[in-house]
Amino acid sequence: MAKPLLAGNWKMHGTAKSAAELASQLAGYAGEKPEIMVFPSFVSIPAVVNALSEHKDIAIGAQNVSHYSEGAYTGEISGKMLTGIGCSHVLVGHSERRTNNAEGNTLVAEKFAAAQQSGLIPILCVGETLQQRQDSLQLQVIKAQITAVIEKVGLQNVCNAIIAYEPVWAVGTGETATPEQAQQVHGFIRAELGEHGKDTQLLYGGSINADNAASLFSQPDIDGGLVGGASLEAEHFMNIAQQLIERK
Ligand code: PEP
């Protein structure tokens, strides 16, 4: 079974100061923790790196990366810039970027490749819309999203990354996939990855909270969570982390 992992996506919330405070609160939790990583906004990353300088057990990632490595791309941030300030991970293909920034499968695959080339570990986010689920297309959609990346970087490189199944209809909505719905997709992704994907961390994301975490984490192919709203409060996030450690 892959190692348990809990990731917090802080989206466009707070300031550098509040992000550093939140990071320090997380670091202050003693006891057994799963692997933990946080994704502050770009401008808060240096403050979070500073706050966690003595706590290397919490990894830091960015919420986006350019598919270009360098050049005249105003407003873009490269993978090399991110590793240079202390990031080890990056979200790629988050549904909010697919929807709000028209990031399609080809661009997501290019970002994934650029991230790996610069030494970042991508968390590839995949998931179907409500309409696609109502049309029973979820597995087809997810297969296409993952296949685009496999075609770009190869299966082994996808297996070396982290995949987050985040149904679009569950992200930030308060709606959660049932454990059975989530397991169906996670089992499908695991099978698609084959032999090399046995240890690939597969996260569920979409309105995880302290009340629904345990049942999701009890599923055999759910190795942890990508948490948005509930990651903005240290106690809530660490409660979820505890449930991941104690999962049945
Ligand atoms: C996310 O941002 O990846 C996410 C899952 O958000 P939320 O937990 O708020 O649904």
Given the residues 67, 89, 94, 186, the one annotated as active site: 94
Let me know if 94 is a catalytic residue.
yes
Give percent of the chain with pLDDT exceeding 90: 98
Q: Is the CB of 205 under 6 A from ligand 1?
A: yes
Residue pair 122/112 in contact (Cβ under 8 Å)? The answer is yes
Could you tell me if the CB of 146 is within 6 A of ligand 1?
Answer: no
Reported confidence tier of residue 120, pLDDT bands at 50, 70, 90: very high
Compute the distance from residue 69 Cα to the ligand 1 centre, in Å: 28
What's the pLDDT at 83?
A: 98
Band of residue 248 on the pLDDT scale cut at 50, 70, 90:
confident
Domain spans, the chain = 5-245
Quick one: average pLDDT of 185-214?
97
5-245: CATH homologous superfamily? Aldolase class I (3.20.20.70)
pLDDT in tens, 34-51: 999 999 999 999 999 999
Give the CA distances from residue 4 to residues 15, 139, 178, 202, 222, in Å, rounded to whole numbers and listed in that order: 29, 24, 20, 9, 9
Residue 1 has pLDDT above 90, yes or no: no
**Residue 31 confidence class, pLDDT cut points 50, 70, 90:** confident
CA of 169 to the centre of ligand 1 (A): 10
User: Averaged over 97-122, what is the pLDDT?
Assistant: 98
Indicate the DSSP class of residue 4.
Answer: P
pLDDT class for 33, splitting at 50, 70, 90? very high
76 is catalytic: no
pLDDT of residue 96: 98
Report which secondary-structure segment, H or E, holds 182. Answer: helix 179-193
- Cα distances (angstroms) measured from residue 10 to each of 7, 73, 84, 156, 180: 10, 25, 21, 29, 27
